[in-house]
Chain A
Amino acid sequence: MNLKSLSPAGPNGWVMVITLVALVLVPPYTVLANEPFFLDLVMRAVILSIAAVSLNLVLGYGGMISFGHAAYLGIGAYCVGIPGYYGIYDGVFQLLLVVAVCGVFALVTGLVCLRTRGVYFIMITLAFAQMVFYAMVSLDEYGGDDGLVIYERSRFPLGGAIGDSITLYYVCLAVLVATLLLVHRIVNSRFGLVIRGTAGNDARLQSLGLPTFRYRLICYVIAGIMCGIAGWLLGNFTLFISPEMMNWIRSGELIFMVVLGGAGSLFGPVLGTGAFITLEEFLSGFTVYWQLYFGIFLVLVVLFGRGGLHGFIEWLFRRRS
């Protein structure tokens, strides 16, 4: 684990600062250039970045390969959709709901999942996500397979609204920055050191008398809630939610975003998500057989691209200096 890379001084720190500044400037650009769809694209990348950063907390730092992270994205989005179905668009209520539902779900499933290790952990997180998926498919009242159209974005007291896309975009960006700060604080705290330690050698930390199970559980719950909030933003953004959003393929894509950017690096997942969305958009506009190239790219990244984009940037910088 490279501690230096977490401070803004390293090359990746500069990449982070520049990217974030660029992200702030996206809305004025889209207005000037009259490219509203570009804003949509970047917004989707920003929201999925939040999910990827949260997954990275458990996967990259904690070594817990969760194959069911998309479930939280879906739960978060349904926390907009289901209250909306009853005409409740109060953002505070929805967010409390997200925290409560995702928190409880992560806590209960975490109690079971964290008893297992390695591939058993991968499969059991997948199993719980599939259960949520099928549960939503079976709930006919909320659209089942067909999904649910959301007619209004969340409202906040004192007249605050995120009705227009640019406001929503800045809310998403603010949440992304807050998530990055929080993850940075967590991984550099004593708590974070333990979490990172458990990824390497859990038994040794346990023998030192550390209640590692509890630490990992807390970490798992925090990541779940973060991802739930990303889901809440996603629901507000797409104004449509279906169980498809928590399909296991989605969980796989989130993992890919993290690995592509560089697992266990603060800003890597954001880069990975950006690259993923760009690639998907670019290739799918190019040919209907885009998944062939995408699959080959995936295999090549795994075989040759160790450390992801984050590692690549460090390598570039080191070579120059």
Chain B
Amino acid sequence: MIRKSLIAAALCGIVAQPALAADTVKIGFVTTLTTPAAVIGNDMKNAVDLAVEHIGGKMAGLDVEVIYEDDGFKPEIGKQKVDKLVKSDDVDFVAGFIWSHVLLASRNSALNGGKFLISSNAGPSQIAGELCHENFFSTSWQNDQTPMSMGAVLNRKGVKKVYLMAPNYAAGKDMLAGVESTFEGEVVGRDLTRWGADAQLDFSAELAKVKPSGAEALFVFYPGAAGGAFIKQYGQSGLAGDVPLYTAFTVDALSLPKLQEGGLTGVMGTQHTQQWSPDLDNETNKKFVTDFKAKHGGYPSFYAAQSYDTILLIKSAVEAVNGNLDDMDGMRAAMAKADFESTRGRYTYGKNHFPIQDFYLREVVEDADGMWTVKVVEKVFEDHQDLYVDKCNM
């Protein structure tokens, strides 16, 4: 009996949080803080904290409160957490989302609950197309865009045959579709490998097939920890001389320090595409990169840059309505204008609220301090818009 009432008390304790007055902007931020993918989540969290610090913890005079939730890399956990943020914490914005499948699972909980949903990373094709919504915004990209720019790069380099590899989940399939939509040569092989909490990390069987296929280039998408494992095995497979590696979201500020520590020089000079780079020359980016490095001792990743932009986007909306958080229409109109200086410079929104922005080819280099990082080689696309916007009836 005693135990029972203790449980009841504990349950009430969790849910009965005091109703907060409207003088706070509450942002629920869903990301991955456990499993190996927590590397990404922590980087995003650091960037959000830095952004809040940079704006002095205030938006239009209101205090900013960020509530972090861990999705555990699982869509249904992510959805549960969004339900909690919407129903229990009553946040004003639900943001974050590394993974496309977590975002897809959580979409209805946030939007049907009447909240703004802002993706700081994931950009599944469905949400850019038929599932678009007036209260959804992205500060990243639609999944296909980055690999599409890679397809264009491969064409320019005169590659005729390519081998594709990605994990078997929503974004993985979008990535490969993206390359295929712009690449003009032949796709001689495609492998989708197991993903999730027990992802496949030994790629020997797949790598063995690359050379016999006659491919002239290998394109892969392995975000987070799997990227490091892949690069390493690519190096060991002896493909480096014959089949050069091109990536998307695989080599970044999270994997490079580990690759450097492990002495995997094979990654130097490899190229990939991205909408942002730490060396982009604008005021916001300089401040962001300098302060992030000072605070955390390493370069921020693109995940971090997009998360930083998420807070700036929200700030622009809250300031446009002078802190009147009930004015959803006003905030929506303000966000649709993207009227703020982002880390990638200015961009605009399409009608599906995905950015129309530039994409760059980046290369792995060593900076002045001997730290491995990336720098822009050239601009691949200017003001590029995703392919799914026409399917959005908004």
A and B touch in the complex (CB under 8 A): yes
A residues contacting B by CB (< 8 A) are: 15, 18-19, 22, 33, 35-38, 40-42, 137, 144-147, 149, 151, 238-240, 242, 244-245, 274-275, 278, 281-282, 284-285, 288, 291, 309, 312-313, 316
> CB-CB < 8 A to A15: which residues of B?
1, 4
Residue of B nearest to A275 (CB): B7
Q: Are B10 and A145 in contact (CB under 8 A)?
A: no
Q: List B contacts of A316 (CB < 8 A).
A: 1-2
The B interface, classified by DSSP as helix, strand, loop or mixed, is helix
Known A-B contacts A242-B76, A244-B196; A38 and B101 likewise in contact (beta carbons under 8 Å): no
Residues A149 and B14 in contact, CB atoms below 8 Å apart:
no
A-B interface, 7 closest residue pairs, ranked by CB to CB distance from nearest: A37-B88, A37-B87, A146-B101, A36-B87, A38-B15, A146-B170, A240-B105
Residue numbers in B under 8 Å from A144 (CB-CB): 168-169
Which listed residue, B1, B14, B75, B79, touches A285 by the CB 8 Å rule? B14
Looking at the assembled complex, report how far the CB atom of B308 sits from the nearest CB atom of chain A, in whole angstroms.
Answer: 22
B76 near A238 with CB under 8 A, answer yes
Cβ–Cβ contact A278 & B105, under 8 A? no
CA distance A291 to B3 in the complex (A): 22
B214-238 interface (Cβ within 8 A of A): none
Q: Quick check: A145 and B83 within 8 Å, CB to CB? A: no
B194: A residues at CB distance < 8 A: 137
For chain B, the bracket of interface size reads 35 or more
CA A278 to CA B4, docked complex, whole Å: 11
Chain A nearest Cβ from B221, distance in angstroms: 15
Contacts of B169 on A, CB cut-off 8 Å? 144-146
Q: Which A residues are CB-close (under 8 A) to B2?
A: 316
- CB <8 Å contact, A145 and B168: yes
Contact residue among B14, B33, B75, B83 (Cβ-Cβ distance under 8 Å from A288)? B33
Judge whether B108 and A35 touch: CB under 8 Å.
Answer: no
Whether the Cβ atoms of A244 and B74 lie closer than 8 Å is yes
Listed by A's residue number, 13 A-B pairs whose Cβ atoms lie within 8 Å are A35-B16, A36-B88, A137-B194, A145-B101, A146-B169, A149-B108, A240-B76, A244-B74, A274-B7, A278-B11, A288-B70, A309-B3, A316-B2
A149 with B104: CB separation less than 8 A = yes
Determine if A149 and B4 form an interchain contact, defined as CB atoms under 8 angstroms apart: no
Query: A146 to B324, alpha carbons, bound, how many Å?
Result: 37
**Nearest opposing residue in chain B for A285, CB measure:** B14
Are A145 and B3 also in contact (CB < 8 A) when A35-B15, A38-B15, A242-B76 are?
no
Complex contacts, A245 vs chain B, CB 8 Å: 76
Q: Are A149 and B107 in contact (CB under 8 A)?
A: yes
Q: Bound complex: CA of A56 vs CA of B199, how far in Å? A: 32
Q: How far is the CB of B381 from chain A (nearest CB, A)?
A: 27
